[in-house]
Amino acid sequence: MDVRPNHAVLDMCAAPGSKTAQILEALHANESEAIPDGLLIANDADQARSHMLVKQAKRLQSPCLMVTNHEAQQFPNIFFAPKGSLDASVLQFDRILADVPCSGDGTLRKNMPIWQTWTQGNGNALHRVQLPILLRGCSLLKVGGRIVYSTCSFNPLENEAVVAGALKVAGGALRLVDVSSELPQLVRRQGLSTWKVQSKSGEFYSKFADVPEAESVGLLPSMFPPENAAELNLDRCLRVYPFLQNTGGFFVAVLEKVASYGALDRIPGNEPNVELEATAEEKEETETKEATTVELDTSSINERKRSQDDDSNRSAKRTRTETEGSSEIVKYKSAAAWEGRESPFVFLNSDNQELMGMREFYGLDDSFPQEQFVVRSEKDNYRTVYFVSRAIKNVITASNSFRLNIVNTGIRIFTRSAGNDTGAECPFRLSNEGLATIGRYVSGKRVVQVPMSDIVTLLSIEYPKFTEFGEELQKKLTEMSMGSCIIKFDPTLEKNYTGSARSTILLPIWRAHVSVSLLLNKQERKSLMHRLTGEDLSIQGGLDNNAGGGSTEGESQKAAIAGETEPTTESVA
């Protein structure tokens, strides 16, 4: 896909999220930039799988990710407000991945049920879903952009036939990219130019014109090999067979958009208006319908198509209003989350008093974006402050963003401290989830560089007192005011270091009166200890005896404060 940090990327059928994670890693490839200019919208049609996708992607802690819940072939057009800072008036993507629903017969070595359930009708039915998905992706793609179409199937009706159908409908606006020189160690075969289509009665046909009317039920012209297969360069598609390198079976086609295709490409790039948007929506709907009905009966129901999408979810609406302090609010009911409850996105103004207090306490650098903090409540007693990239904010505040069924976006940066009387100057503590993004912008007054010995103490003792650390850390903790701060460990500065972790590690701690608490749960502690030392962790103070996942950040903080006078030996989970 050749994803770069400044690209806008759409993963049309993203769950369970392994490919999404790889795209996110590519967006963050430039380690000197904590917040890339690009974005990734990871979409899936299945509600439950959308939540699985969130869990998978959350571990990468990116402010550039948005998870949505739509049928891929019906992904909405998103128009930016006239006052938006982006050049284009409509959201289009530099890269799109269409890893479409398929019969999965390429996985038959590990997926035993396929041996009992496979029929030739599977591919015939899925072809009706796959081609509209690819066509929709091509419409959402920028001119000059790439879309990767892939399946884990051998069936040419799900593969070359779909690609050929899209090339035919696009009328020269798309071309297959020759990627034969990419990934030279991957053994592959060329795409097919000829194949036969089997009818329900078991007969095989090479041309749709040869199919008797009685045999044509369920068959479409787009399923058959095109007469101009050589001109389409179908041999540029990639086929990966299990016997080549002991893998699963895959099909991949890389297409580039070389000319305008669809109504979105004809929209002027300056100051869109409602009339223009409505016109574009009409054209897009008409063109999509015409394009697909040439080859497909789009009203037919695919027996294998996901059926969990609730029509009522499509009526979910959001409204944008202005509240005191000029915070921008976007209300919506997500199709795949929040169980129908209002979950607004409220962007905090830079002059918000609590936000100003956080910036002052943590000494946030002025270069850190101040207008991309968002909360999920209209009330003032919000518990968590999230952060999104500029590109994601532009999508959320787009003029018709109510059309997006957003499941999740943003990373947690600050969390309101447990209890009302913590004694800290700032009521918000740093969240581990957001340290990779905000850590480099926090002032040195709340960041402490520590050696390996102090890290081991933090990991192995539940509530270590200042006196249990080295002299340098003792001094800094004594001089520091009560509240949240960051522990920084650089493995490259350690002599005789043998751990597997090689990059700088940032950890959130709570500095209480005479002790500290590492705001990580038991599993995170154990994992980190093993990466640093290769040893199993035994935590003193009772946390290791917890049969669950360990204490949360808030519970660790409360226990640290409560345990100042008499250290606890009980589980805090």
**Tokens 């997006």 belong to which residue?**
404
User: What is the per-residue DSSP string for 95-115?
Assistant: EEEEE-----GGGTTT-THHH
C-alpha 211/C-alpha 199 separation (Å) is: 9
The radius of gyration of the chain's CA atoms, rounded to the nearest angstrom, is 27
**For residues 236 and 256, is the Cβ–Cβ distance under 8 A?**
no
C-alpha 163/C-alpha 46 separation (Å) is: 24
C-alpha 224/C-alpha 196 separation (Å) is: 7
Nearest partner of 240 among 190, 180, 193, judged by Cα: 190
Nearest partner of 232 among 201, 210, 255, 199, judged by Cα: 255
**For residues 559 and 568, is the Cβ–Cβ distance under 8 A?**
yes
**For residues 77 and 267, is the Cβ–Cβ distance under 8 A?**
no
Question: What SS3 class is residue 511?
Answer: strand
Binding site residue list for S-adenosyl-L-methionine: 13-19, 44, 99
**Adjacent-strand bridge partners of 510:** 484, 517
**For residues 410 and 434, is the Cβ–Cβ distance under 8 A?**
no
Strand ranges in 463-542 using DSSP code E only, listed in sequence order? 483-489, 505-511, 516-518
C-alpha 237/C-alpha 243 separation (Å) is: 18
Binding site residue list: 13-19, 44, 99
Nearest partner of 245 among 188, 192, 299, judged by Cα: 188
C-alpha 54/C-alpha 409 separation (Å) is: 9
Query: Residues with catalytic annotation?
Result: 152
In the numeric block, which tokens belong to residue 355? 């936000």
C-alpha 96/C-alpha 106 separation (Å) is: 22
Question: What SS3 class is residue 228?
Answer: coil
C-alpha 373/C-alpha 15 separation (Å) is: 27
Q: How many CB atoms are located within 10 Å of the residue 193 CB?
A: 17
Contacts of residue 385, Cβ cutoff 8 Å, sequence gap at least 6: 348, 355, 358, 373, 374, 375, 412, 413, 414, 415, 428
C-alpha 141/C-alpha 10 separation (Å) is: 9
C-alpha 524/C-alpha 530 separation (Å) is: 10
In the numeric block, which tokens belong to residue 75? 């992904």
